[in-house]
Amino acid sequence: MIIDGMADRPLEELGGKTPLEVANTPNMDQMAKIGINGIMDPIKPGIRPGSDTSHLSILGYDPYQVYTGRGPFEAAGVGVEVRPGDIAFRCNFSTSDEDGIIIDRRAGRIREGTSLIAQKINGINLEPGVEVIFKESTGHRAVLVLRGEGLSDQVSDADPKHEGKVPKEIVALDDSEEAQKTARILNELVKTSYEVLKDHPVNLERMKNKENPANIILPRGAGAVPEVQPFHEKYGLKAACIAETGLILGIGKITGMDLIEAEGATGGIDTDLNSIGRCIMDTATRNYDFILINIDGADESGHDGILKEKVDFLTRVDSVIGQVMQLEDVIFILTADHSTPISIMDHTGDPVPLIIKGPALRVDDVEQFSERAAAKGGLCRIRGSDVMNIVMDLTNRATKFGA
Ligand code: ZN
Ligand code: ZN
């Protein structure tokens, strides 16, 4: 179970403590007491991980080999059946005026009607032999996949990053023909998207209601879908992924896990933690050897720099831990994918705390779950890439190295 962005740095306003140290977490503390504790560098000491690269590393995939960008994972996470070699992008539905100036990068934070708009772009024919797959994600977000011969992910972004500017021209980032072809198709797509969307019924309705229309598509974050050995093949474990965000569901999807979405999961601090708890307990009774769980809210409050929200969320997550503590005969690992310190409002490379609970462990004398308490535990300091080896060993599935 990965509590996204849970770990933090000491804060003056907490008397030098971290949010996790002040949050009231009796169940996590109990787990620390009966488990082995340690700290983990998700990738390497000092490397600031993304959620995606960290999860890959913890699952035993080398992110320096398999990670090509966020696009492929986002696309897989919203249910596009991506294939190795596809070029995937994250996109915004944005608002362009008649002169081509982007007046709202998020199209009035549109929430409804995007699937109807996406249907107009999906399957659009821009170049023979290149399939355009386009699907809405949450809110103003969407994903684009280009499939065909002779494409490249070495292309720049269209998103101008600020309102009041025209979309950036997408350019090839190397001198390959593939990159030039891909850039050409993308520029064509941006232009065409305005033509086919400006009078879309959903947009006419929005304009009538004085809302910004979603009348242009701005792609960014190109990545080639990597070849990834399925998790069940790598470890012989039938796996499920319970996650809230498209990015983490995409990690589950690309590694071949079954995706399970809990009702009421929002990926924010308003998520339905009771429902997530029930979903975990229900999934645990099904025929899985391994379950990856990601709960996202603490990361959000870290990015927003809102201390009270982070402490409250960690306090509430503790009840989910209380539920899963009841599972017997499982190896349970509680950790984070990175620190998202309130003071930094982004991910940092500080190591994260980790507990392993299960039968017949060499329990240590740590009695609290926190960044500092965990550092005194019996597991000492490990890397994300050690986690699956430890799981395979503790569940007696590992094979001996040597004679
Ligand atoms: Zn994360
Ligand atoms: Zn984050």
The pLDDT score that the predictor gives to residue 239 is 98
Which ligand has an atom closest to residue 302 CA?
2
* 184 Cα to the center of ligand 1, angstroms: 34
- Range list for CATH 3.40.720.10 in the chain: 2-67+228-394
* 214 Cα to the center of ligand 1, angstroms: 29
Q: What is the pLDDT of residues 156-203, one digit of tens each?
A: 999 998 999 999 999 999 999 999 999 999 999 999 999 999 999 999
* 28 Cα to the center of ligand 1, angstroms: 19
Check: CB of residue 27 under 8 Å from CB of residue 322: yes
* 303 Cα to the center of ligand 2, angstroms: 6
* 363 Cα to the center of ligand 2, angstroms: 32
The per-residue pLDDT of the chain, averaged, comes to 96
pTM of structure: 0.91
Closest CA to 214 of 110, 304, 91: 110
* 2 Cα to the center of ligand 1, angstroms: 9
- Domain 2-67+228-394 -> CATH class: alpha beta
Helices (H), 291-378: 297-304, 307-324, 371-374
* 340 Cα to the center of ligand 1, angstroms: 8
The pLDDT score that the predictor gives to residue 138 is 84
* 21 Cα to the center of ligand 1, angstroms: 19
Closest CA to 317 of 332, 303, 333, 298: 298
Which ligand has an atom closest to residue 51 CA?
1
Closest CA to 336 of 90, 110, 42, 115: 42
Mean pLDDT for 316-345 is 96
Radius of gyration of the chain (CA): 22
Task: Tell me how far apart the terminal alpha carbons of the chain are, to the nearest angstrom.
Answer: 34
Q: Which residues pair with 3 in a beta bridge?
A: 295
* 205 Cα to the center of ligand 2, angstroms: 34
Which ligand has an atom closest to residue 299 CA?
2
Q: What is the pLDDT of residues 71-129, one digit of tens each?
A: 999 999 999 999 999 999 999 999 999 999 999 999 998 989 999 999 999 999 999 99
Check: CB of residue 120 under 8 Å from CB of residue 93: no
* 341 Cα to the center of ligand 2, angstroms: 10
* 340 Cα to the center of ligand 2, angstroms: 7
* 162 Cα to the center of ligand 2, angstroms: 21
* 337 Cα to the center of ligand 1, angstroms: 5
Phi and psi angles of residue 136, each rounded to the nearest 5 degrees, phi first: -75, 150
Phi and psi angles of residue 61, each rounded to the nearest 5 degrees, phi first: -100, 140
CA gap 67, 353 in Å, rounded: 24
